[in-house]
Structure 1
């Protein structure tokens, strides 16, 4: 039996990841009666459920900060809690900065900030449907321990990552590259008992074995934040994992690293059977990798797995088709849009859907690209906005827009837009871009003006 809540919300945000958190905060701070619904018993999405760490990046390659607003507020509040050192130079050299953080304290901070803003929070609740007619969503269906319920709101934000709300509401979508293949999944994990001094010494003694942009000549002044390489040792080990080297990030503990190496390719993350297979294979790879580090990498002789992500990390699923599809050309040319609602300086970063490599293409002149409002408005939908990796992009552009700081900025934009539309009783496509941009600027967002 389905129950219907008696409350009518102005804004319902579905999904409590980085995009959903900032979306709900932005909507509530804009005066909207807001509910945030999340399937886990904690918030943070891929940042906490899949151990996506560190956040990268709030800056362009030239060092200009292009993501601020609520995302920056979260970083500063984590810093005040002793849960983040803030933005640090990326010693891999792939981006200008990375932002380490304590995932457990991020979960706590998200709860605190949402409570302060007056957001109604519903955890352990899984969205299973949407009642929509002529592009207008009337309600969404959720399942939880209490049974089946219908949540009604004037406006909705899809922050599920997979575009679930848009999918159930009948919005158009696509997935993957020209062969419908998506980027591989990764089971992330932490190793504890690591000697960072040994990592530094090996890098300085074997610079040719690391990513060409690595800041090895600056390691006497900079703390190691990330490492990509050990190409010779990786090749010698000949593990059955389709990677070409080691990728790991320091912290948050002094003797810890976060390992981003495992790779499960050729599966569809929206298919439950495929997800199940990925979870099993991913955990198998974790312990193959633990043995590899202990055997081959100096400084890891006594290292051990201290944490495995609660779920497999997903890079790419549905991309909902919006009023504009952001392209790889838009990104690499640092294109400006009149309806910009977020910016990013992260390069196009595609993990080969079939092979071992990563294709990286960098933005012109170390700059940033704009994300237009039209890319967070699904085509044909009246009261739905997109936030996070499911926004309207090409396969190439999704490979940059999917990164956490970008998703945070998109969440703030979507939540603000939904709140304004609820107040004005207007369709997403009729909302004043100038009014939305001014509201974002007033809230500290960076739009390049």
Structure 2
């Protein structure tokens, strides 16, 4: 079997993996990005997680920039994003619509510009470590050409589920106190929606919507998101464990992204459960299409236009690192000396056991730090973590899992991986001041 050797191998091509590969290559490391689908974008494209939330704190401070903002700027230049808009639900300060098909192509272009080698339709099937089990020697991959090995000096696990760290033997945990994870959601788009009719109903029935909704400002703001229609949802009594309707407008004028389906009680890391979730999620899409057409003003002529290539997954393995970020760290807006990213998204836990969402907001509308130690796993010395699998508690993961946060984490992980090669050191021994300086030079916000 053919074996290739790189400085850095980024495994997983979602938002975190894209940012990691870009920052690694821009740092001078020979970098490869491996992705199981025939396109990039991870949950943003495969599962239609839309829009991106959020680049700002609750009081409007722009806390995520760097590669994440560069992507938004380039999408705006292509007419594929309006940039950061006010969240008319009022849950966050802003949200960022984008066109997923343009994002897929832009990611290819940016990686090519940076000199990243790309391998699509390729799955990681095994990880081989040294005799002590403390360092990854190589990973085995499978694709249409058969099986082969990739060897790198440093690796970034951007698989979302922590697959690489798991196969390498890194310690991990999952879920809440009973090991149950947040539910999965099959997202889908409907087109032919009359958003003016939706807006009119909201203005006439404000009590039927989320209490922070910016209904009084809808004459001056574009309608970006809707949470509510509580009366109509309750009257329909669908067998879906939600409390109301949630959707976001765009990317086209008559389109919305529906985030209502919920599949609970299953483990996305167990293939039998994931299979059940895919089947149940698609059944729910058809139920919901009928519900919207029959009950929600403005959807009378709307139809399903697209469904996710896979069900959306909020939570699986959390790899245990040198620091486990916790809920109090988030809510207290804690600062860390080894900060590598910041986020202003609240703790947003979809009940693993049934109905309900627990939302806890950061003190004084601020932002919290994500420390470098939380992206360095225990035991495996040449591995970095990027995305929703980093070292957190169940509560803290409910904010770090959001896409802009994952992008910011990915940028840091890619630079750190390149620095391990430059300094011939273990991941935990990367000079933190040099890493932070590189991030600042890349226009990330750390302070």
Q: Does 1:56 align with 2:43?
A: no
Could you say which residue in structure 1 is the equivalent of 2:372? 373
Could you say which residue in structure 2 is the equivalent of 1:35? 32
- Quote how far apart the aligned CAs of 1:285 are: 0.2
**Could you tell me how far apart the structure 2 residues matched to 1:259 and 1:340 are?**
35
Alignment of 1:244-393 (within 5 A): 244-393=243-392
- Quote how far apart the aligned CAs of 1:67 are: 0.3
Question: Residue 167 of structure 1 aligns to a residue in which SS?
Answer: helix
**Could you tell me how far apart the structure 1 residues matched to 2:421 and 2:246 are?**
44
Could you say which residue in structure 2 is the equivalent of 1:17? 14
**Could you tell me how far apart the structure 2 residues matched to 1:309 and 1:151 are?**
30
- Write out per-residue CA displacement over residues 305-335 of structure 1, whole angstroms, 9 at most, x where no aligned residue: 0000000000000000000000000000000
Could you say which residue in structure 1 is the equivalent of 2:224? 225
- Quote how far apart the aligned CAs of 1:381 are: 1.5
Could you say which residue in structure 2 is the equivalent of 1:4? 2
**Could you tell me how far apart the structure 2 residues matched to 1:443 and 1:355 are?**
42
- Quote how far apart the aligned CAs of 1:4 are: 3.2
Could you say which residue in structure 1 is the equivalent of 2:64? 67
Alignment of 1:381-420 (within 5 A): 381-420=380-419
Correspondence for 1:117 among 114, 118, 124: 114
Correspondence for 1:126 among 97, 115, 123: 123
Could you say which residue in structure 2 is the equivalent of 1:156? 155
- Write out per-residue CA displacement over residues 40-76 of structure 1, whole angstroms, 9 at most, x where no aligned residue: 0000000000000000000000000000000000000
**Could you tell me how far apart the structure 2 residues matched to 1:122 and 1:138 are?**
19
- Quote how far apart the aligned CAs of 1:408 are: 0.1
Query: Which runs of no fewer than 5 residues in structure 1 stay unpaired?
Result: none
**Could you tell me how far apart the structure 2 residues matched to 1:386 and 1:132 are?**
17
**Could you tell me how far apart the structure 2 residues matched to 1:124 and 1:191 are?**
29
The count of corresponding residues between Structure 1 and Structure 2 is 445
Could you say which residue in structure 2 is the equivalent of 1:438? 437
Could you say which residue in structure 1 is the equivalent of 2:192? 193
TM norm structure 1? 0.99
**Could you tell me how far apart the structure 1 residues matched to 2:142 and 2:299 are?**
44
**Could you tell me how far apart the structure 2 residues matched to 1:309 and 1:166 are?**
27
**Could you tell me how far apart the structure 2 residues matched to 1:302 and 1:108 are?**
31
**Could you tell me how far apart the structure 1 residues matched to 2:227 and 2:126 are?**
42
**Could you tell me how far apart the structure 2 residues matched to 1:421 and 1:199 are?**
53
Q: Does 1:95 align with 2:92?
A: yes
Could you say which residue in structure 2 is the equivalent of 1:80? 77
**Could you tell me how far apart the structure 2 residues matched to 1:423 and 1:432 are?**
11
**Could you tell me how far apart the structure 2 residues matched to 1:197 and 1:180 are?**
43
**Could you tell me how far apart the structure 1 residues matched to 2:408 and 2:108 are?**
19
- Quote how far apart the aligned CAs of 1:380 are: 1.4
Query: Which runs of no fewer than 5 residues in structure 2 stay unpaired?
Result: none
**Could you tell me how far apart the structure 1 residues matched to 2:197 and 2:286 are?**
22
Question: Residue 49 of structure 1 aligns to a residue in which SS?
Answer: coil
**Could you tell me how far apart the structure 1 residues matched to 2:120 and 2:354 are?**
37
**Could you tell me how far apart the structure 1 residues matched to 2:129 and 2:174 are?**
22
**Could you tell me how far apart the structure 2 residues matched to 1:234 and 1:409 are?**
36
Could you say which residue in structure 2 is the equivalent of 1:213? 212
> How big is the alpha-carbon RMSD for the aligned residues of Structure 1 and Structure 2?
0.5
**Could you tell me how far apart the structure 2 residues matched to 1:443 and 1:305 are?**
40
**Could you tell me how far apart the structure 1 residues matched to 2:86 and 2:401 are?**
21
**Could you tell me how far apart the structure 1 residues matched to 2:290 and 2:162 are?**
37
- Write out per-residue CA displacement over residues 263-300 of structure 1, whole angstroms, 9 at most, x where no aligned residue: 00000000111011000000000010000000000110
Alignment of 1:421-436 (within 5 A): 421-436=420-435
**Could you tell me how far apart the structure 2 residues matched to 1:194 and 1:357 are?**
27
